[in-house]
Structure 1
Amino acid sequence: MRPALLNPLFAQVTSLSGIGPKQEKLLRYLLGRDDTPRLVDLLLHLPTSVIDRRAQPKIRDAVPGTVVTLKVTIDRHRPAPPRNRRAPFLVYASDETGDLVLTYFRNPPGMVEKLLPVGATRYVSGTLQMYDGTPQIVHPDRVVDEAGFAKLSGIDPVYPLTEGLALGALKRAIALALQKLPDLPEWISAEVMRRCGFPTMAEALHRVHQPLELTDVLPDGPFWSRLAFDELLAGQLALALIRAQLRRPAGNRHDGDGHLRKRVIDALPYALTMSQRQALAAIAEDLRQPVRMLRLLQGDVGSGKTVVALLAAAAVIEAGKQAALMAPTEILARQHVKTIAPLAEAAGLRVAILTGREKGRERRDILAQLEQGEIDLLVGTHALIQDDVAFKALALAIVDEQHRFGVRERLALTGKGEAVDVLVLSATPIPRTLVLTYFGDMDVSELREKPAGRQPIDTRAVPASRLSEVMDAVGRALSAGALVYWICPLVDESEAEGTGHLTNATERFESLQKRFGDRVGLVHGQMKGAEKDRVMAQFAAHEIGLLVATTVVEVGVDVPAATIMVIENAERFGLAQLHQLRGRIGRGSEASTCLLLYHEPLGEMSKARLKVIRETTDGFRIAEEDLKLRGEGDVLGVRQSGLPGYRIARSDVHAQLIAQARDEALHIMKENPKLGGPRGAALRCLLYLYERDEAIPFLSAG
């Protein structure tokens, strides 16, 4: 149960005056929620910058191009002529040193007259520009009288907004939410408070939203850092609680005698690499231990993670148990099955797939066989964690691409068996610091080598001005029977608003189709699963030679014959994403080429990225470089520089707080593992506040 103390913060935003259905919808979009946002969501939506309105010069001394606040007398109005709605409404004002023009375009009738009555004194704030030698402010941000000015803060925070939501409306809502903030207990230890110089949470929230100094909203300042530490501590404490639960002594263990593993290995067309053998030995040892396995297996694109996962599954199947493999997308789930099926068949393992596409009778049959123990390994999407999916004896949960699943999904899957072992697969090599953030103290195995026979990929950067040459080269390759990927950042025009010159896939498909006819196909994320599969199958069967795609092909698409990839707007992709995309070629025995088309001029960051991707195909090096270049938002496939799953903590600024939060969480687990007493109650508030409460039910469990 959520502590009653927090109820005011979990009230819906519609309980605040002035927030009706229209505002609620905009806030839902802004705050990224599927349901009505709560006050806590508003309070944790932090400003990105501030405007300093404290400069109050006379008109004569005001510097053009700066934000100023001027005390003026309103002299006269010049409304727009009735027939010309486009002409501005001008207000002439002055102080003892000079004249000022206030300009309004397309304003509601009567608004300006009411706001700026002739003869009145007003304080106006906005960016001052010179126009025909006269100072002017277009659409002042603030217009107030003497009483209003006394209340106006000189420092105004600026927030991320969404179209249709006015800054003023958001600020009013946040100010009302701040008034409802309850008196929260302190969950950070006195020692950490002192060492880090943290204020209380209430003071941090007030100073970030109602700054007294320009520096109050800086992410590395004490106020933002305090909130970031809270969020990191909640995350680390939740991981530690789950970890402790997973580490509880497990009864009968799940290691078999090796006969199925031997059959799978014998059926492989190549020998296992050294790191695959090491990972398997570590997994076998984990399965023998009296505590549950929690291991992260990271390996680059094409390093053979699926085979290791299958061999781990075979180990528990030898002991008469079942395994499940959960992937984030249907394409990826079907890809795993394609790799696994021939090997499983050779070893006599029974494998089935369950995604949103299996329906009705087919689905009922799969579920019945699963419950009877007639399926050894079930592969699927989050369809695996639905309530009616029941295993006879689930012993191993394999979760692919972990950072796309929350802790909740992992728990839902492990909850379907007794003392289930967990193996997490990541195709994005994750730097060590981040492994701690996302997985706590997980054991890690790395697959460093590429399987034998893989060819190097020749990667080149080409300016977009040479597009026609690239098309000619693609034409020659198609005539020679090559399979070519052409990657675009967007699906269609609706996505392209405000993105400048980004190419969309639909448009590029049409232009390439004009040139190459029906040899061109298109796949993107908005297509239905069956349709995507159909086009991919045509590509794999050489029925089409050129596949135009969005990043939907980034994971798990396996067409070994494809040898050429063109990536448009390569400067707009993160390093990890470029590396993942490029990993779709170079999977067969032919040499491959990747062309990175970029628009000039290139920024420093884009230049550095394209240089790294040209120089190396080592995913571990790319991940480290990526972290250096732009914080781990992109290492984990998230676009901003924030930590995925975190709203406030930022990798580039709060890296040292991650380790401190982790140490604090481990200390709490040692001193107070059941979160008892006043400090424990305070920590429970913290977990609920940052929605990391999935770990709380474990406190009462054994």
Structure 2
Amino acid sequence: MRPTLLDPLFSPLSSLTGVGPKLAQLLATLLGREDAEDARVVDLLFLAPHRLIDRRHQPGIAYAQEGAVVTVVGDVIRHLPPPAGKSNLPYRIILQDDTGELALTFFKVKGNWLEKAAPLDERLMVSGKVEWFNGRASMVHPDYMVRESEAGNLPMVEPVYPLTAGLSPKMLRKAVENALTRLPDFPEWIDPSLVSKQGFAPARQSFEQLHHPRDDRDADPQAPARRRLAYDEFLAGQVSLAMVRAKLRRVAGTPIVPTGKLSSKILAALPFSPTRSQSEAVADILRDMASDQRMLRLLQGDVGAGKTLVALLAMAAAIEGGGQAVLMAPTEILARQHYATISKLAAAAGVTVEVLTGRTKGREREAITERIASGAAQIIIGTHALFQDSVIYNNLLLAVVDEQHRFGVHQRLRLTAKGISPHMLVMTATPIPRTLVLAAFGDMDVSKLTEKPAGRKPIQTVTVPTDRIEDIVERLRVAVAEGKKAYWICPLVEETEESELMSAEERHAVLSMMIGAPVGLVHGRMSGPDKDAAMLAFKNGETRLLVATTVVEVGVDVPDATIMVIEHAERFGLAQLHQLRGRVGRGAEASSCILLYKGPLSENGRARLSILRDSEDGFLIAEEDLKLRGEGELLGTRQSGTPGFRIASLEHHGDLLEIARKDAAYLLERDPDLISERGDAVRTLLYLHRRDEAIRFLRAG
């Protein structure tokens, strides 16, 4: 049961004064919750301000520095509305103080509210970012603008939060202030010696300081309050991962004694020999599976490093040991592709392979589930459908999960819940830096595949500004006419008003006209069968150019595709660009990747694209990406089951993660059921961070 102490924090947002259904929904959207029902008061407390407005900084208009956020007090001397019928032009108000003039600039002004808010000769206080053009100061859409007579109500230092359309800073600030009144005095869950060594304030005080910064130092990631709350977040994560690990370990595994009969046949049928790191990974896996403790191993291998072969050899060992193996993929396309690759190799050893996805229906499904239950099916490949209640295994000894970060950590427990305790091998093509492995999968041993398989050609990567797009299209037209295959990746599915990016559908229409050959289209909003059909047409050569969104990032295998064009490359994460690039260069022909970017690039943007241009080492690229963008972006999106930390950041608080991991291990070793005084406080911490799942294992275990 959640401690009653936390009840006020887990009330719905609508329980806060002034928050009705509409505002609750806006807040839920901002907080990344599906609907208002799922968002709680506590979520507002974890919404950290990203900067602050310091109204004490009033240098005078002439002395305001370019790009600085300043406060100005001055008289309204002119209104310059746009000419009639030209509503796309800005409305300007000229403000004057003792040192000079400032143009307040507003776009898309409706009605006459500016005339009311800033009448001529009125003395105003405005705050916002100052920009200088041709020696004139300008402030576009000030952060706030009030009459000087009313300025006394404004706090001199105010935190600035992220917003969402329709939500004003004032509404949000009021909701956060209301949420702060619900804070209880928490029990201390951090070890006392660490509290004094790090100089941590109590949790309640840290939340209050987070939302009431006094100056820029308080908004810095290294501010004491942020470090305290970051540590709490890491500790909650590491304790729950360690509890998952202990629970999975507590269910004994079945030691597997392979004979080598099947794997030797598979190896003999290969046209190449495995790389050194493939052989080492297989040795690690066999050693783990021979123990009566369940294996939990993460296999990291760059795109095309040969993870599938390692997984197949592990599955062959499980079959030699008298059992079955499953391979679970995140999408239908990937599952069917694994099936195509694995069934060919398994046939050499006489191993039977089945594929089961959500689309397998009726009699076909019944026949397959019967073969799984009888043990006639030895390797079963599929999607989440593999773990539905209707699927009963004869003797499941090994589960391989592909693209782990698409599944949450706790989905791995579904298997255990079914009373099955297979060894687990988790594969990812996203090279994950060590700190992130700790944060997301703190409970796993890791094997890395570091070489490219034999015969892979390097991919030539070039960066090209979008104003040369016509040259690229012409080169593509010639290449397609010569029989080559190419991908064109777009960042969005359909045109939205705010975005000037070319959507996939529009780009498809334009390229279809210009290429003079059939062009395919795949994006995330298409149905599964439509996606598969478009991919198949590309694979079979019916279309030679495929326009796609990032749905092709994971695992689509078309060995004869040699050209990859990525539009608006500056908008993608490095790891994601590297994944996309890995879709080409899979055959014997030389391949190229063209990164189209919209200039001018920021320094960070230039650095990112040049890392990609100069390196094909996914691990190096991932480490750089972590430095440049932070962990939230590294594994694609925020929603992909990665540790979406709310306060903590691996980039700024990496030192605390290591301490939290050791602390969690130390605590659970001494108090595995969390019944001591500190253990009880840690239970409160787990509930506070919505890690209830972990507590259920304590009770169930």
Common fold, TM-score beyond 0.5?
yes
| Residue 632 of structure 1: aligned partner | 631
Distance 1:295 1:101, change over 3 A: closer
Residue 70 of structure 2: which of 67, 77, 102 is its match? 67
Preserved CA contact (<8 Å) 2:253 2:422: no
Question: 1:95-119 CA distances to partner (integer Å, 9 max, x unpaired)?
Answer: 9999999999967789987x89999
Question: 1:487-535 CA distances to partner (integer Å, 9 max, x unpaired)?
Answer: 22222212xx4445x3322222112111223432111111111111111
CA distance in 2: counterparts of 1:699 and 1:374, whole angstroms: 37
CA distance in 1: counterparts of 2:394 and 2:161, whole angstroms: 52
| Residue 39 of structure 1: aligned partner | 41
Q: Give the 3-state SS of the residue equivalent to 1:601 in structure 2.
A: coil
Distance 1:322 1:645, change over 3 A: farther
CA distance in 2: counterparts of 1:200 and 1:584, whole angstroms: 50
Preserved CA contact (<8 Å) 2:486 2:562: yes
| Residue 11 of structure 1: aligned partner | 11
Amino acid at match of 2:240: A
Distance 1:153 1:581, change over 3 A: same
| Residue 569 of structure 2: aligned partner | 570
1:509 lines up with 2:508 in the alignment: yes
Structure 1 unaligned blocks of 5 or more: none
Preserved CA contact (<8 Å) 2:77 2:96: no
Counting only pairs closer than 5 Å after superposition, residues 466-477 of structure 1 correspond to structure 2 as: 466-477=468-479
Question: 1:86-141 CA distances to partner (integer Å, 9 max, x unpaired)?
Answer: 8999999999999999999967789987x89999x998443498999999997782
Shift of 1:453: 1.9
Q: Give the 3-state SS of the residue equivalent to 2:278 in structure 1.
A: helix
CA distance in 2: counterparts of 1:335 and 1:559, whole angstroms: 10
Distance 1:682 1:566, change over 3 A: same
Q: Give the 3-state SS of the residue equivalent to 1:481 in structure 2.
A: coil
Distance 1:209 1:317, change over 3 A: same
| Residue 306 of structure 2: aligned partner | 304
Distance 1:376 1:592, change over 3 A: same
1:439 lines up with 2:441 in the alignment: yes
Distance 1:375 1:84, change over 3 A: closer
Counting only pairs closer than 5 Å after superposition, residues 40-189 of structure 1 correspond to structure 2 as: 40-55=42-57, 67-68=70-71, 70=73, 124-127=125-128, 141=144, 143=146, 152-189=154-191
CA distance in 2: counterparts of 1:360 and 1:348, whole angstroms: 27
Distance 1:143 1:399, change over 3 A: same
| Residue 584 of structure 1: aligned partner | 583
Shift of 1:33: 1.0
Counting only pairs closer than 5 Å after superposition, residues 379-390 of structure 1 correspond to structure 2 as: 379-390=381-392
CA distance in 2: counterparts of 1:134 and 1:524, whole angstroms: 45
**More off after superposition, 538-547 vs 448-457:** 448-457
Preserved CA contact (<8 Å) 2:464 2:597: yes
Shift of 1:455: 2.0
Preserved CA contact (<8 Å) 1:100 1:136: yes
| Residue 650 of structure 2: aligned partner | 651
CA distance in 2: counterparts of 1:539 and 1:347, whole angstroms: 31
Shift of 1:233: 0.9
Preserved CA contact (<8 Å) 2:638 2:644: no
State the identity as a percent.
51
Question: 1:394-426 CA distances to partner (integer Å, 9 max, x unpaired)?
Answer: 222211112222111111134334432111101
CA distance in 1: counterparts of 2:297 and 2:481, whole angstroms: 47
Shift of 1:615: 2.2
Amino acid at match of 1:141: Y
CA distance in 2: counterparts of 1:226 and 1:662, whole angstroms: 15
CA distance in 2: counterparts of 1:610 and 1:291, whole angstroms: 44
CA distance in 1: counterparts of 2:28 and 2:364, whole angstroms: 38
Distance 1:416 1:268, change over 3 A: farther
CA distance in 2: counterparts of 1:419 and 1:95, whole angstroms: 74
Distance 1:251 1:436, change over 3 A: closer
Structure 2 unaligned blocks of 5 or more: none
Question: 1:6-39 CA distances to partner (integer Å, 9 max, x unpaired)?
Answer: 1111111011122222212222221111132100
Distance 1:695 1:374, change over 3 A: farther
| Residue 544 of structure 2: aligned partner | 545
Distance 1:417 1:518, change over 3 A: farther
Question: 1:599-638 CA distances to partner (integer Å, 9 max, x unpaired)?
Answer: 3323222222232222222222322333343333443224
Distance 1:609 1:111, change over 3 A: closer
Preserved CA contact (<8 Å) 1:62 1:128: no
CA distance in 1: counterparts of 2:80 and 2:344, whole angstroms: 79
Distance 1:84 1:302, change over 3 A: closer
**More off after superposition, 668-677 vs 86-95:** 86-95
1:25 lines up with 2:32 in the alignment: no
Preserved CA contact (<8 Å) 1:53 1:155: yes
Distance 1:643 1:145, change over 3 A: farther
| Residue 354 of structure 2: aligned partner | 352
1:243 lines up with 2:245 in the alignment: yes
CA distance in 2: counterparts of 1:397 and 1:278, whole angstroms: 20
1:524 lines up with 2:526 in the alignment: no
Counting only pairs closer than 5 Å after superposition, residues 210-609 of structure 1 correspond to structure 2 as: 210-248=212-250, 250=252, 252-494=254-496, 497-500=497-500, 502-609=501-608
Preserved CA contact (<8 Å) 2:491 2:549: yes
CA distance in 2: counterparts of 1:518 and 1:136, whole angstroms: 50
| Residue 693 of structure 1: aligned partner | 692
Preserved CA contact (<8 Å) 1:80 1:88: yes
Question: 1:177-204 CA distances to partner (integer Å, 9 max, x unpaired)?
Answer: 1111222211111111112121111111
Alignment length, in residue pairs?
A: 692
CA distance in 1: counterparts of 2:612 and 2:360, whole angstroms: 39
CA distance in 1: counterparts of 2:638 and 2:590, whole angstroms: 32
Question: 1:154-210 CA distances to partner (integer Å, 9 max, x unpaired)?
Answer: 111111111111111111111111111222211111111112121111111111212
Question: 1:205-243 CA distances to partner (integer Å, 9 max, x unpaired)?
Answer: 111212233322222211112111111111111111122
Distance 1:320 1:505, change over 3 A: same
Question: 1:363-411 CA distances to partner (integer Å, 9 max, x unpaired)?
Answer: 4444444334343232222333444443333222211112222111111
TM-score, length of structure 1 as denominator length: 0.88
Preserved CA contact (<8 Å) 1:217 1:223: no
CA distance in 2: counterparts of 1:476 and 1:173, whole angstroms: 59
Shift of 1:684: 0.8
For the aligned residue pairs, the C-alpha RMSD in angstroms reads 3.8
Preserved CA contact (<8 Å) 1:643 1:650: no
Preserved CA contact (<8 Å) 1:126 1:137: no
